[in-house]
Amino acid sequence: MFGRVIVTVCKNAGRKQCLRKILFSWIRDREIKQLKQLAATLKASIIKEEETAADLELKARVFSFGEYKADVQDKMLVSLNKKVTEVYRRCIGENEANLGTLQMLTVIEHQLDDLLECLERVPQAKIEQAEKAKEKERRMRMRDEKVRQQRQLQEERLQRALARAQADIKKKTGRKLMFRSEPAPIKEKEDEDQGLIDQEKEEALYYFT
C-alpha cells in the first residue's frame, strides 16, 4: 500500500528524488520523536536529581553543627517534613507536585516575600485598621476564655458542694449511739413543780388583791 502511494505521487517527478525526500522526511520525524522522548526522560532525571540534591543539602544544613546517629537523623527529617508540609498546605495549598522539604521551604519563602511586598503597598490606615480588628478579636477570645474558665470553676465548686452534702447525709442516716444516763430523782422534780405553783399563787395574790 505504501509503495503504491509513492508510485502514484511520483508519476510526474523523478522517482529517485521523490523517494529521497519522503525517506528524509520520515527519518527526520522519527529522530524528532526520539529526541523529544529523550528530552522528557532527561528532564525527569534532572528533577529527580535536583530533589536528591535538595534533600542532601537539607541534611547538611540540619546536621552540620552536631553529630547524630542515622536513625535520629531520619526521625528528625521525617518530623521536619511533616511540619513543613503542614505550613505549605496552610499557606500555598496541597502538595500536588510532591515537592521535597527544601523545595516547599523555597516556595513558602517566595510566597512570604510576595506578601511582604504587597504589605508595603497597602496604605498605613488600612494596616492600622486591620491591627485594631485583630486586637479586638484577640480581646474577645480572651474574654470568652475567661468566662468559660469561670463557669468551669463554678461547676467544679458546685460539684464539690454537692459531694460534701451527700457525704453529710450518709453520715446522719446512721443511729448515733448514746450512753444511757441515770434518771433524775422524782422527789426533786416534784419539789421544783410545787415551788413554781407556790410562786404563781403569790404573784396572783399580789396583783389581784
Predicted pLDDT of residue 94: 86
> CA–CA separation, 75 vs 71, rounded Å?
6
- 185-208: average pLDDT: 59
Q: Name the maximum alpha-carbon separation found in the chain.
A: 173
The cell for 165 is: 452534702
Of the ranges 4-13, 74-83, 106-115, 142-151, which one carries the lowest mean pLDDT score?
4-13
Residue 4 sits in the same domain as residue 61: yes
Highest mean pLDDT among 84-88, 132-136, 148-152, 193-197: 148-152
- Sequence-distant (≥ 6) Cβ neighbours of residue 112 within 8 angstroms: 91
The cell for 72 is: 535520629
Domain count, the chain: 3
Q: In this structure, what DSSP letter does residue 176 have?
A: P
> CA–CA separation, 55 vs 49, rounded Å?
10
**Domain edge (last residue) among 36, 65, 94:** 65
In a domain, 114, yes or no: yes
- Sequence-distant (≥ 6) Cβ neighbours of residue 63 within 8 angstroms: 73
Predicted pLDDT of residue 144: 93
Residue 76 sits in the same domain as residue 112: yes
The cell for 121 is: 503597598
The cell for 128 is: 492600622
* pLDDT at residue 28 is higher than 70: yes
Say if CB 159 and CB 167 are below 8 A apart: no
Q: What is the amino acid identity at position 124?
A: Q
Residue 1 sits in the same domain as residue 61: yes
Residue 112 sits in the same domain as residue 52: no
Q: What are phi and psi of 194, to 5 degrees?
A: -65, -35
Residue 54 sits in the same domain as residue 34: yes
> CA–CA separation, 207 vs 204, rounded Å?
5
In a domain, 151, yes or no: yes
The cell for 153 is: 470553676
Predicted pLDDT of residue 88: 85
> CA–CA separation, 108 vs 88, rounded Å?
7
Residue 77 sits in the same domain as residue 117: yes
* pLDDT at residue 114 is higher than 90: no
Position with higher pLDDT, 124 vs 4: 124
* pLDDT at residue 173 is higher than 60: no
> CA–CA separation, 148 vs 20, rounded Å?
89
Q: What is the CA radius of gyration of the chain?
A: 50
Residue 127 sits in the same domain as residue 109: no
The cell for 3 is: 509503495
* pLDDT at residue 178 is higher than 80: no
Full domain range(s) for residue 143 = 123-167
